Amino acid sequence: MRPFIYLLAALAIVGMAAVPFTAPWLQFVLTLGIANGMVALGVAILLRAGLISIGHAMFFAIGAYCIAFLSRMGINEFAALLVLGVTGSAVAGLIVGAFVVRYRAIFFAMLNLAISMVVYSLIAKMHGVTGGTDGMPLHTPTFFGVLLDKPGFDLALYYFAIVLMLIIGYLVHRYWKSPLGYALSAIESNELRLEYLGVSARSVLLIAYVVSAAISGLGGVIAGSAIGHILPDFGYWTSSAQFVLIAVLGGIGGAAGPFLGAFFLEMLHSASVNITDAWNLITGIALIVVIVFLPSGLYGLFRKRRRSGS
């Protein structure tokens, strides 16, 4: 079973690598898919502890706005933007996380939503600083020192994103299999027992939250760079909803799941852009369908029943 999955994954990666030549119109969609997958992965990390953040788009937005500000300040190298953008999101995650990890369940979810709405409204209202609802443009940065035109940069970004996806996916996979990752699951199983074993649930969660925020910010950096323009909508609750759906759908598939879910959803978006824009309706229905009809899938996510020896 295992080798088959690896083979499938390898084929998928090769397929993705060939896209700019075989199906160039997919390149942008897949780049965004990877970016969204990153945020969904961030949400999935917290889901492991049974916590649902319905406001995670804020870190996606913070990552994107960080690089927009940096670019405006004159920093024009992608590598620098990337590192600084992710750091900015991580710091934001530390600040927000220090507060929200005291809470669980619905309180946690709603606090995240509330804070994300605050972030959104600050971004949308501070026209002078953030351009308000017009957003901020992002000039094509140099790519590791190499000056490229937009199409060239997009191509480089695409391949870089694929590499990042593999690296981050692998690292999160290791995280989930480590003592710290199991501690995260243990928080949902029996937080009391964990505390009596001498482990601080808050510290475990804070680490998870910061990691999750950083990865989401990375997604924002990728998306922002691909689109070339940053808008407050990056951080709107509708975006958070999408990330939650992707995380819930794809959560069964370990660290790869969110990316698969993101690709699927992104392609669905672009295919139906002329048919409907009732994405909240669809997302809402999809969420309810998943939790009603795929309880084992969901249980796979929330109850983590694993086959022994896997």
Site for another protein in 125-144 (CB under 8 A): 125-126
Residue 298 touches another protein, criterion: CB under 8 A: yes
With CA atoms as reference, report the closest residue to 240 among 123, 109, 132: 109
Select from 195, 229, 271, 296 the one that contacts another protein (CB under 8 A): 195
Nearer to another protein, 125 or 150 (CB): 125
Select from 76, 142, 185, 270 the one that contacts another protein (CB under 8 A): 185
| 123 and 239 Cβ atoms separated by less than 8 Å | no
Q: Give the largest CA-CA distance in the chain.
A: 58
Select from 118, 146, 147, 268 the one that contacts another protein (CB under 8 A): 118
Residues 111 and 23: their CA atoms lie apart, in Å, by 42
Nearer to another protein, 269 or 304 (CB): 304
Residue 122 touches another protein, criterion: CB under 8 A: yes
CB of 15 to another protein, least distance (A): 30
Residue 23 touches another protein, criterion: CB under 8 A: no
Stretch that binds another protein, among 5-13, 28-36, 107-115, 142-150 (CB under 8 A): 107-115
Residues 259 and 256: their CA atoms lie apart, in Å, by 6
CB of 215 to another protein, least distance (A): 14
Q: Are strands 136-137 and 229-230 parallel, antiparallel or unpaired?
A: antiparallel
* Angle (deg, nearest 10), helices 179-196 and 150-177: 40
Residue 287 touches another protein, criterion: CB under 8 A: yes
Select from 32, 109, 164, 231 the one that contacts another protein (CB under 8 A): 109
Nearer to another protein, 20 or 300 (CB): 300
Select from 183, 218, 221, 265 the one that contacts another protein (CB under 8 A): 183
Token reading at 288 = 């309810």
CB of 130 to another protein, least distance (A): 12
Residue 269 touches another protein, criterion: CB under 8 A: no
Residue 297 touches another protein, criterion: CB under 8 A: no
> Buried (b) or exposed (e) across 40-71, using 16+ Cβ within 10 A?
bbbbbbbbbbbbbbbbbbbbbbbbbbbbbbbb
Residues 211 and 126: their CA atoms lie apart, in Å, by 28
Residues 157 and 222: their CA atoms lie apart, in Å, by 8
Residue 308 touches another protein, criterion: CB under 8 A: yes
* 292 class by beta-carbon count within 10 Å (0-12 exposed, 13-18 middle, 19+ buried): exposed
Per CB under 8 A, contacts with another protein among 223-242 are 237, 241
Per CB under 8 A, contacts with another protein among 65-104 are 99, 102-104
What is the total residue count of the chain? 310
Q: What's 101's DSSP letter?
A: T
